[in-house]
Amino acid sequence: MYIIIAGCSKVGASLVNRLSEEGHNVVVIDRDKSSFAQLGSGSNCMTIVGVPIDEDVLKEAGIEAADALAAVTTDDNTNIMIAQIARQLYRVPKVLVQTKDPERQRVLSFMGLEAICPTTLTVESFFTALAKGETEK
Amino acid sequence: MRIMIIGGGNVGYYLTKSLSAEKHHIMIVEEDQARCEQIVSTLGSKRVEITNGDGTNVECLREAGIFNTDALIAVTGHDQNNLVACQLAKDYFGVKQTISRVKNPKNIRVFKKLGVDSVISSTERIAGIINQELDWTDVNKLLKDRSSNVRIREISVEHGSLFNNKCLKELGLPKGLILIAVLRGNEAIIPSGDTRLEAGDAVIVMGEEEDIESIYGQFKEMRK
């Protein structure tokens, strides 16, 4: 698959590493060049320095041909904007958005965007682990 | 009308000032607490209702009174925040009219495609004005290099100008001044003495700098 990762955060970088290990064709965009240092040495992905809400930057990343895009910058609204450009302007088949705010996750699904919320996932993991400890007692 | 403004920076502040004078009910949503207090203390709580919070957050918009809003204007300094505010207003809360400012002129197209009703870019507006002027700078530089005092300028004929609806031969232009072209809509007319000027025309003039200055005012001046 041809996948664009917008935002080379911790999440973004790890995602890129995993995906390129699996043999996917990955392009990663970040406004800060130094963030690419987090990418694994074996990762043969393409990197682009630029603001990912800039249509020209997304075009350079090959959004017209992308099979999937994950918007994982540290700013929720930036992610939402990228996702909408991808989905509505370029008809990218699979688009995922990261949002820090669990409240926003509901609104996003209303807007037709598939959102992943690290806060919700973390709480979920803690909760399950704690509850599991409870039943084992 | 009940208007909600997202972003209480300079643009938001002056918008509020001019709109509230026209009897609109203005609500501002601004993230910075200190800025909120500053706006209320200068404009007074009678002219503006202010909510301290994130204008891209559903709860905050609800609290600010989005359900009774006729139009939302997003003027924060971040394009992505303006887009999200407009979309929440329109798609989630059913606000009829959304207006957004963009910093990056390239986002005008993107915002319109994503459903924002009106998109304004000051960068693009200014660039448009400058480009009109700039087209002649190369020519003028060339003329100046030949140590001549001759310039080319573009002057628009304003509504109610003394020259509006007059033939060129009636204008009494100084000798040595030439009207090279009259630009009307998409047309460029090579004028003769019988060409009649209309308000909205742009006239390209060549002549001595002082002569151009002397007639410039008449293109703009109101007929008494």
CATH superfamily, region B2-121:
NAD(P)-binding Rossmann-like Domain (3.40.50.720)
Low-confidence ranges of chain A (pLDDT < 70): 134-137
Provide the pLDDT for residue B135. Answer: 66
Does A77 contact B106 at a Cβ distance shorter than 8 Å?
A: no
DSSP B45: T
- Alpha-carbon distance of A18 to B176, in angstroms, equals 75
Provide the pLDDT for residue B134. Answer: 58
Q: What is the CATH number of domain A2-136?
A: 3.40.50.720
Provide the pLDDT for residue B128. Answer: 66
Dihedral-angle region of residue B80 (phi above 0 means left; psi in -120 to 50 means alpha; beta otherwise)? alpha
Assess contact for A115 and A105: CB atoms under 8 A. Answer: yes
Q: Using a CB-CB distance cutoff of 8 angstroms, which residues of chain A are in contact with residue B62? A: none
Assess contact for B116 and B98: CB atoms under 8 A. Answer: yes
Does A56 contact B84 at a Cβ distance shorter than 8 Å?
A: no
Per-residue pLDDT tens over the stretch B16-74: 988 888 889 999 999 999 999 999 999 888 889 999 999 999 999 999 999 989 999 99
B28 to chain A, minimum CA–CA distance in Å? 19
Assess contact for A119 and A101: CB atoms under 8 A. Answer: yes
Instruction: State which residue of chain B sits closest to A109, comparing Cα positions.
Output: B92
The partner residue sitting opposite B58, judged by closest CB among A75, A81, A107, is A107
Which residue of A59, A81, A99, A109 to mutate against B (max B Cβ within 10 Å)?
A: A81
CATH class for the domain made up of B133-220: alpha beta
Q: Using a CB-CB distance cutoff of 8 angstroms, which residues of chain A are in contact with residue B113? A: 88-89
Within chain B, all domains assigned CATH 3.40.50.720 are found at 2-121
Nearest to B180 by CA among B203, B155, B157: B203
Residues 6+ apart with CB under 8 A from B147: none
Residues 6+ apart with CB under 8 A from A52: A6, A7, A29, A30, A31, A58, A71, A73, A78, A82
B131 to chain A, minimum CA–CA distance in Å? 23
Provide the pLDDT for residue B216. Answer: 80
**ipTM confidence:** 0.85
Kindly indicate the confidence band of residue B224, based on its pLDDT and cuts at 50, 70 and 90.
Answer: very low
**Count of CB pairs separated by less than 8 Å, A with B:** 51
